[in-house]
Amino acid sequence: MRQIFFDTETTGLAAEGGDRIIEIGCVEMVNRQLTGNNLHLYVNPQRASHEDALRVHGLTEAFLSDKPLFADIADQLLDFLAGAELVIHNAPFDIGFVNAEMKRLRRPPITDTVGSVRDTLLMARDLFPGKANSLDALCRRLEVDNSNRKLHGALLDAELLAEVYIRLTRGQDSLVMDDSGGNAQSAEFKLAAIDLSSFVLPILQASEEEQLAHERVLGELDKASGGKRIWQSA
């Protein structure tokens, strides 16, 4: 199975409001093995980034001014992604931006090119309900080293996401049930029968001091319940 861990950096948060993609990071995994066949692209958005976004990614208008336009890298990107499963943290954000760029070029949405899209944010929310599930939070929880993540970067974040995904899904292969009709016992643990009657368990008697403490606690419970202890001795 070919998977691409995918991330973008953008000029802001509003794809439909005119914000643009400025960086794309793609990390390839085949059959749960990272291949090293990655794709990293900078894109000239032909506009400045919002101040908040610039503080996040640090990619200035001057740095991006000599980079290709999205129209110039679209075919390269689509060829790399074709048929693969995209794995994205908060997929609607990145897919929305790519589709907005494709719409400007009057081309079909990215979902017409890729095989499928998997959202690791939804996966994390199912596994860790009620907890922080940002990429940084998952790196801390799953012990993925993100010490180099001083600023957000599309390729770095895609690499971190690949490591997070491997740890999120570790052991799943061993949970796949074999329905081929073979001998199921060969895949099961075989436990030796143990005769428990051979064990002699010691009986520990409460000391007088422990018995008195126990009676005091029962008395307090009896008082608190208005004499309704259902375990009270006859």
Which residues are the active-site residues?
152
Report yes or no: 214 and 206 within 8 Å, Cβ to Cβ. Answer: yes
Residue with tokens 């520990």: 204
Structure tokens at 228: 């309704």
Count of positions (residues) in the chain: 234
- Residue 107 corresponds to which tokens in the numbers above? 């081309």
- Burial class from Cβ neighbours inside 10 Å (0-12, 13-18, 19+) for residue 25 reads buried
φ/ψ (deg, to 5) at 211:
-65, -40
Cα-Cα end-to-end distance for the chain: 69
